[in-house]
Amino acid sequence: MKIVSDLDLTPYNSYRIPAICKRAFFPESEAEIQQIFQEYPETKKIIIGSGHNIIFSRDRYEDDFIIFSGNFEKVVCEDDKISAESGVSMLDLSNIALSYSLSGLELFYDIPSSLGGAIVMNAGASGEDIQSLLLTVRYYDPQADVFKEVERKGLDFEYRNSFFQQNPHLIITHAFLQLRHGDKQEIGDKMENNKKLRWAKQPKEFPNAGSVFKRPKGHFVGVMMEEMGLKGYTIGGARISEKHGGFIVNFDNATGKDILEIITLVKKRVLETYSLDIEVEQRII
């Protein structure tokens, strides 16, 4: 298992915010995950996957990071089912499904997330989400020092929420998904179309971490930002995207503090204007 001291976390978060952690582990098996907690119990552990949907609030962490990026990404296909480790990216998983002519993951092509991260936040778009494809999820509970496998119905999925968000100490290791056989050309065309639509609407040209806020019932965040005149609003190197007001981008060496200050301002303005306490979708670390 790779262990790195004073790791530069800049490449491990999609905002490209500079930060350093005291020590980082890159496990490649369940046994190594367990080993981390057994051999290094004294330090708080922070779990990250592909580094999307997170905001670093500090420039240095005296915590241990357990990172699932470029590791823990084995995938096995059997008929119309997939068993996958949590570190695999949704991009790679979608492409693997395509290679087996399996449909169901087209929506997640080009969604920036690891499988584990997608499950934690119940990622999705256009009324669909990851939980609808899940059969079971396997995870490690470091407090009890046990691995458990739970069916979808036991994981309390809601819009951009799950059992794992309520229990952040749990570590997803594997997921088992039910897909369906389809036409390879049609699946590939749908994937490419989804990608084109995202690139047309989202600020892919700048580092960002996707939608900053959960969509409040009856409203669209991007529309609210436009109505309040906040598109393009800037603090330091961070800016509310002019392309899509639901995104904050790092256009000029932004810090986590810059991004969090914009979030604070947006929450205040939305409360004043719409009487809504808008919820942050991204995980602040």
The residues assigned a catalytic role are: 160, 211, 281
Report residue 120 as tokens.
């934690």
Distance of CA 58 to the CA centre of its chain: 19
Among residues 241, 262, 261, the alpha carbon closest in space to that of 251 is found at 241
Alpha carbons 40 and 223: distance in angstroms, whole number: 47
Among residues 7, 16, 9, the alpha carbon closest in space to that of 209 is found at 16
